[in-house]
Amino acid sequence: MRKLDAKRVVVKIGTNTICRADGTIDQGYLEDVARQVRELHGRGVQSIVVTSGAIGTGSAEMGLDGKNKDVAMKQACAAVGQAILMMAWRDAFRLHGMTVGQVLLTYGAFSSRARYLDLRKAIDELFRLGAVPIVNENDVIATDEIEEVFGDNDKLSALVASKMDADLLILLTDVDGLYDRNPETDSDARLIPTVDEITKDIERMAGTRKNERSTGGMRTKINAAKVAMESGCSMVIANGHEPSAIVRIVDGEELGTLFTPHVRYSNRERWIIFACPRGKLNIDEGAEKAIREGKSLLPCGILSVEGRFKKGEVVRINGMAKGVVNHSSSEIAAMVEACRREKAEGRHNGHDRAVVESEDIVLHD
Ligand code: GLU
């Protein structure tokens, strides 16, 4: 048995688990998830459901299954499918006497501290009222905010788990967990029960397998594991069709693959490190050294400013760190210019205002 002791759980369910082969929603499956969430609720365990399936459902609804879709068509499918998906969740939870609340997120919700605090408030209030938050990415408008792929609910669920202080993230999918080789082509493939560290070998095992309707594969799940582990949250990848998978995992049964947590970052540091950066500050070697020694970033160490951002937003600092800026991008550009001019004219007195305070900088590997 595993000792997880989870009090707040995020359950992410993939499109291929929610939808049948023809793209329609498997209502019986949703009802079974609701039953398990109800059972956990009765024991004082809070659940947040991260649901995929909007694009798949919308695609089936409009007879577009099997067609190649560009981003705009996927956005349209999500717009159609999300409403159907939410009604299906509402009906499923109603059967078990519970209400659901739709939470549509973009990565921007995690980039501004004010928006993140608003999100926390709303989700805490849903819990207080006994409603279950059902989260999905707001695919209709999210496309310009996503760094890597369009609509990756694996990463989204890990960010939700991290920001909402969940202690367990369960990714329910159509495979039993992480295998050392591809189980579809290699009958000797063995399931890995526990991963304590994401090594190059683990990344290689994840491969690049993808599926037409859903976005994820093992690769995005491993990226999610990195976020969860560094946030002090356990993560389990398991087969969503294993009977009562959610309850059994919460109870510590050894289903699927467990990724064990490392507590590395504080809550505030986590917010900074996992925020989607709004721009970049390119800095010189001296400033890099100063930051590594725990000092603030001053305008004189900045070589250039990329992107447009406001005061209080998160930016990348070279490839080494992320930080919350004290000034907007245009103010910083002006400060850098003033500093350069003063130096050239020999009037620089070295008393610069910090662009990013030391306590607002988090170094990463
Ligand atoms: N947000 C997408 C949807 O609802 C799913 C993304 C994913 O499969 O990770 O269809």
Can you give the CATH number for the domain in which 317 is found? 2.30.130.10
Q: Which of 16, 52, 103 to mutate to test the pocket of ligand 1 (most atoms within 8 A of CB)?
A: 52
CB 137 near ligand 1, within 6 Å: yes
CA of 364 from ligand 1 middle (Å) equals 28
| Residue 30 falls inside a structural domain | yes
Q: Are 240 and 193 in contact (CB under 8 A)?
A: no
| Residue 239 falls inside a structural domain | yes
Specify whether 108 is located in the same domain as 65: yes
pLDDT values of the chain reduced to their tens digit, one per residue, 365 residues: 888 889 999 999 999 899 998 889 999 999 999 999 999 999 999 999 999 999 999 999 999 988 888 888 989 999 999 999 999 999 999 999 999 999 999 877 877 777 888 898 999 999 999 999 999 999 888 765 434 444 589 999 999 999 898 999 999 998 899 998 888 788 888 999 999 999 998 888 887 554 433 445 788 899 999 999 988 999 999 999 999 999 999 999 999 999 999 877 787 888 888 888 999 999 999 999 999 999 999 999 999 999 999 999 999 999 999 999 999 999 999 999 999 998 888 887 777 789 999 989 999 86
Domain-ending residue, one of 269, 288, 314: 269
| Residue 1 falls inside a structural domain | no
Specify whether 185 is located in the same domain as 288: no
Tokens of 312: 């209080």
pTM > 0.85: no
Range of the domain at 288: 277-363
Domain-ending residue, one of 247, 269, 291: 269
CB 136 near ligand 1, within 6 Å: yes
| Residue 148 falls inside a structural domain | yes
| Residue 199 falls inside a structural domain | yes
Specify whether 243 is located in the same domain as 282: no
Specify whether 264 is located in the same domain as 306: no
Specify whether 263 is located in the same domain as 282: no
Residue 224's domain is classified under what CATH number? Answer: 3.40.1160.10
Q: Which of 17, 19, 55 to mutate to test the pocket of ligand 1 (most atoms within 8 A of CB)?
A: 55
Specify whether 200 is located in the same domain as 295: no
Specify whether 259 is located in the same domain as 291: no
Q: Are 205 and 179 in contact (CB under 8 A)?
A: yes
Q: Which of 19, 51, 134, 136 to mutate to test the pocket of ligand 1 (most atoms within 8 A of CB)?
A: 136
Specify whether 49 is located in the same domain as 161: yes
CB 269 near ligand 1, within 6 Å: no
Long-range pairs of 100-104 with CB within 8 A, sequence gap ≥ 24: 100/131, 100/132, 100/133, 100/134, 101/126, 101/131, 101/132, 101/133, 101/134, 102/134, 102/136, 103/133, 103/134, 103/135, 103/136, 104/135, 104/136, 104/137, 104/138
Number of domains in the chain: 2
Specify whether 79 is located in the same domain as 23: yes
Specify whether 29 is located in the same domain as 149: yes
